[in-house]
Amino acid sequence: MMSNVVVVDNGGGLIKAGIGGERDPTCVVPNCTARPSSSKKWLVADQLLSPSEDLTSATLRRPFDRGHLINPDLQSSVWAHLFTNLLKINPASSSLLLTEPLFALPSIQHAVDEIIFEELNFRALFVADSPSLVHLYEASRRPYGLVSKAQCSLVVDCGFSFTHAAPVLQNFTLNYGVKRLDLGGKALTNYLKELVSYRSVNVMDESFIMDDVKEKLCFVSLDVQRDLKIARRPGKDNLYRCSYVLPDGITHMRGFVKDTNEAKRYLALHENEAPFLAGGKDYVELQDGSDNPKDKRNIDLTKTEFSLTNERFLVPEMIFRPADLGMNQAGLAECIVRAVDSCHSHLHPALYESIILTGGSTLFPRFAQRLEMELRPLVPDEYQVKITTQEDPILGVWRGGSLLASSPDFEAMCVTKAEYEELGSARCHRRFFH
């Protein structure tokens, strides 16, 4: 009875759900419904991941807007599907640990409580915020590390809808110190969509494909001016040019990177440039040798693929310089500095030394490196800057939740259904210190 805790990290992009105490979530599914242009049926969550579904030009509906729940009805149907078909649990006999975005509005909290207790009938509920869970997980992973000794960390959560820099002290998020940057993976994908649609192929309706393009091809530049110059070179000297093949609906249903070696050419650039160009030539020969599959694919090649050059690093660049896009917000490095500055000065050295990166958008190659480069000049000399990356930034929050759910105190921290019925939604939030 007591072991049955369901942990749900309810993100704007992906729901990570599983049973508390386990290492990995049972399922990681998109938190949305979509309808392919060819059918009238809305596909939910895991159905979107099946390879047989043709999701080109699908219409999307998400329960989240700007990181907050706006459509409780849709969310409740996604959850119902999740709990009955994917996790196969009985809510009446299980507790739920749910993550909530920071600064959720009271009206949204009420709506969530209502769904959990009245529609889904969970036995008990605990609402957590993600930075504290990430802190908990990292502290438990390295019991002798600074995070667990100083009991504080600065969690930088760069997710789907927005980016937070949140100081955590003794497992509590210091909400007066949290700073938010209104940019996340969704905005990046949309930006990439816009660029590609204007420059080569109209992909404005292809959210799923462009997500894939972004994940596979985008990276963070360490020197934008230099990279722009390289991206301008013609032909094979251009280390950043890379093609992505769009699905044609006949031979392949998913898009793919045309040549993964070509896509990875930028990685070797730092060591030295010269041997790399030779590698580029190898690639040419390889291409000439294997012309046949190319012919088979399609006669009109220009229509099914597009190539990216500077878009590959200019898109993630936005997180570091939102001003370039016309946003009146400071970049990520400054966001971190402001979050730290709003805490007590005794915490500053410890916070700078225990920056934890989490969230799917930190998966861009070289993200941490670039962040350190930008952060170092902004931080006082006497403080060290240390950025820790999580081994799986998407699951970091969930693993923290799983850990919390398996702790012996968990049941005592929950609000039970009986308490909710007696005291209403207000009870929940007094309990969770929100």
Partner 1 sequence: MDEEMSSSLRRMSMRTRKVAPKMAAALASSDNRAQAMLARLEALENDNAGLETVQVDDDDEVSFDDDDQAYQKKQSKSTKRKTRQAKALENAKKAPRTFLELLQEANLESLPPHVPSYSRAAVGPPSSTARRHFCTVCGFSGSYTCVQCGMRFCSIRCQTIHTDTRCLKFVA
Give me the residues that bind partner 1 (CB under 8 A), please. Answer: 32, 35, 37, 40, 57-62, 65-68, 70-74, 102-103, 105-108, 164-165, 175-176, 178-182, 186-187, 190-191, 193-195, 198-199, 204-205, 207, 224-225, 228, 231-232, 309-311, 314, 321-331, 334-335, 338
State how beta strands 33-35 and 43-44 pair.
antiparallel
| Nearest residue (CB) to partner 1, 18 versus 67 | 67
CA 346/CA 342 separation, integer angstroms: 11
Residue listed under structure tokens 């889904």: 120
| Nearest residue (CB) to partner 1, 7 versus 178 | 178
In the complex, minimum distance from the CB of residue 346 to partner 1, in angstroms, rounded to a whole number: 20
In the complex, minimum distance from the CB of residue 94 to partner 1, in angstroms, rounded to a whole number: 28
In the complex, minimum distance from the CB of residue 239 to partner 1, in angstroms, rounded to a whole number: 16
| Nearest residue (CB) to partner 1, 41 versus 386 | 41
Name the residue among 129, 55, 137, 80 with its Cα closest to residue 395. Answer: 137
- Residue pair 121/417 in contact (Cβ under 8 Å)? The answer is yes
| Nearest residue (CB) to partner 1, 37 versus 121 | 37
Number of H helices, E strands in the chain: 19, 20
Residue listed under structure tokens 């044609």: 248
Other CB atoms within a 10 A radius of the CB of residue 104 amount to 18
CA 205/CA 413 separation, integer angstroms: 44
In the complex, minimum distance from the CB of residue 164 to partner 1, in angstroms, rounded to a whole number: 8
In the complex, minimum distance from the CB of residue 205 to partner 1, in angstroms, rounded to a whole number: 6
- Residue pair 45/30 in contact (Cβ under 8 Å)? The answer is yes
| Nearest residue (CB) to partner 1, 175 versus 416 | 175
In the complex, minimum distance from the CB of residue 432 to partner 1, in angstroms, rounded to a whole number: 15
CA 1/CA 5 separation, integer angstroms: 9
| Nearest residue (CB) to partner 1, 87 versus 375 | 375
Q: How much is the CA Rg of the chain, to the nearest whole Å?
A: 23
